[in-house]
Amino acid sequence: MIWQEVGLELLKGLGKLFINPLFYISILFAVVLGYVRVKRERRSFRTRILWGWTEAKRMFADIWIYALILSILSVGIGLTFTVDWIVTYSTISILLVLLFMYQLGSPVIAGAIAIGVLWIGFETNFTFSIFTFEWVGEMNWISLSLPIALIIGATVIIEGLLIRKTGAESASPVLEKTSRGLTVVSYLTKRLWMIPIFVIVPSDVIPVFYPYWPQFTFGSESFGLVLFPIIIGFQQKARRSLPINLFPKVGNYVMTIGIAIVVISIVAFWLPFMAVVSLILGAFARIGVWVYFVIKERQGNYAVTPHKSGVMIAGVLPESPAEKMGLVIGECIRKVNGQIVSNEQELYEAIQINAAHCRLEILDHRGELRLRQHVIYHHDHHRLGLLVVR
C-alpha cells in the first residue's frame, strides 16, 4: 500500500520538483565547457573533435541508469535528508561550478564541507531566512551524516566508473611549448555529470510555500520526495601518460575511495560518528588522488611529442577514415603509400600518390610496427581525420 501511495505522489509531483537552481546552472555550465573546448580545438587544430553540445548531452546520457538505481535504493532503504543539508550542499556545489573548480567537484568534497557548515551553524547558533525557508545548523548533524555518507559513497563509486569509462574519450588535446621550444600535446578532461535522485525529506521541514509538494505517510510520520541533483565535477590533465592509460587508473582510485566511504559509513550504524569520519577521510583522499596524479603527470617527458621517425598522432576525429583504420593517439606514422614522412605536409602529399587506397606504416605504443590500409571515398574527410603534432 505504501509503495502505491509513493508511486502516485511521485507521478503527481514529478513535473513540480525541478526547483533546485543547481539543476539549471550545471546544465548551463556543461554547455559552456563544450563551447570553450571547441574554441580551443579550433584555435589549435582548425577543427573541433567532438560536437560542442557533447558535454551537455552526456552529463545525462552517461548516468541515467545510475540515477535510477540510486533513487530506488534511496527511497527503498528510506534514507532521509533534511532540507538544510540539501540547501547547503547545493549552494557549495553551485559555487564550485561557477568558479570552474571541477578538480574539487567530487560529491564527497561538497558533502563533507556541507556537514562542516551545518556543524559551524549549530555551534554558533547561526541562522538565516530565504523567503519562507529558514536555515539553521543541525543539532543532529552526526546522525544526519549516516544517510549522507551512504549516498555520497555510492556517487563516488559512480564517479570512478564514469572516469574509467569516459575520461579518455573526453580528453581534448592542448598544444603546449616545452622549455626547449618544442610543440607538444597534453590532454585535458573537464566534465560535469548530474545524478538526479529522489530522496526523502520529513514533511514538517517542507515550506508551506509549496503546498503542492508530493507527500506520503508511513505510520504516524509524513514525508516528501525531493528530486535532488548531485553534481560530479572532474578535471585532470594527461601529459606524461596517454589518456587511455591514465584515466582508468584515476577511476580505479576514485572507486576505491567510494567503496571505503560506504564500508566505513556502515560502521556508523553502531558508531554514529564514523559517518562523519568517512566523509572527512573521503574528501581528503579524493583531493589526494587529484594532487598525486597532477604531480606524477608533471614529471618526465610528454607522451605525445614530435617524433624524428615520423608524424605523431595527437588526435583522431570521430567517424573519420583514421578512426576506421584503427589509428589512436600516441602512434607514429612512418610511411604513407611507401613514402617516408616526417611532417604533416609530407603526410598529405604522400596520400595523394594513391588517394583511393591509403596504406600506412605505423609504430604503435610499444614501438612495434603495424600496417593499416583503407579505401578513401570521395565523401571521406580529405585529411583522414588526423590531428598531428607539427
Amino acid letter at 312? Answer: M
Model-level pTM greater than 0.95? no
Q: What is the mean pLDDT of each run of 10 residues along the chain (390 residues)?
A: 54 56 91 95 89 91 90 80 84 93 94 88 71 60 77 96 93 88 90 88 48 42 72 95 95 97 90 89 97 94 86 89 87 89 84 77 85 68 74
Scan for cell 537552481, then name that residue.
21
> What superfamily would CATH give domain 311-388?
PDZ domain (2.30.42.10)
Catalogue the E-assigned strands of 125-182: 127-130, 133-136, 172-177
Residue ranges matching CATH 2.30.42.10 in the chain: 311-388
DSSP conformation letters of 77-97:
HT-B--HHHHHHHHHHHHHHH
CA–CA separation, 258 and 278 (whole Å): 10
DSSP conformation letters of 22-35:
HHHHHHHHHHHHHH
- Residue 347, φ and ψ in degrees, nearest 5: -60, -50
Contact predicate 96/114, CB 8 Å: no
* Residue 198 in grid coordinates: 529522489
Q: What is the pLDDT of residue 215?
A: 42
Q: What is the pLDDT of residue 207?
A: 42
CA–CA separation, 99 and 102 (whole Å): 8
Side-chain-facing half-sphere of 343: CA atoms under 13 Å: 3
Beta bridge partners of 360: 336, 372
Residues sharing a CB contact under 8 Å with residue 366, sequence separation 6 or more, in sequence order: none
Q: What is the pLDDT of residue 291?
A: 97
Catalogue the E-assigned strands of the chain: 127-130, 133-136, 172-177, 183-202, 215-218, 221-238, 311-316, 332-336, 339-340, 357-363, 369-375, 386-388
CB atoms within 10 A of CB 219: 6
Q: What is the pLDDT of residue 223?
A: 60
Element (H, E) at 157: helix 141-166
CA–CA separation, 66 and 320 (whole Å): 31
Q: What is the pLDDT of residue 124?
A: 78
Q: What is the pLDDT of residue 165?
A: 94
* Residue 365 in grid coordinates: 605504443
CB atoms within 10 A of CB 183: 14
CA–CA separation, 14 and 227 (whole Å): 8
Burial class (CB in 10 A: 0-12, 13-18, 19+), 204: exposed
CA–CA separation, 218 and 335 (whole Å): 72
Contact predicate 10/348, CB 8 Å: no
Q: What is the pLDDT of residue 10?
A: 56
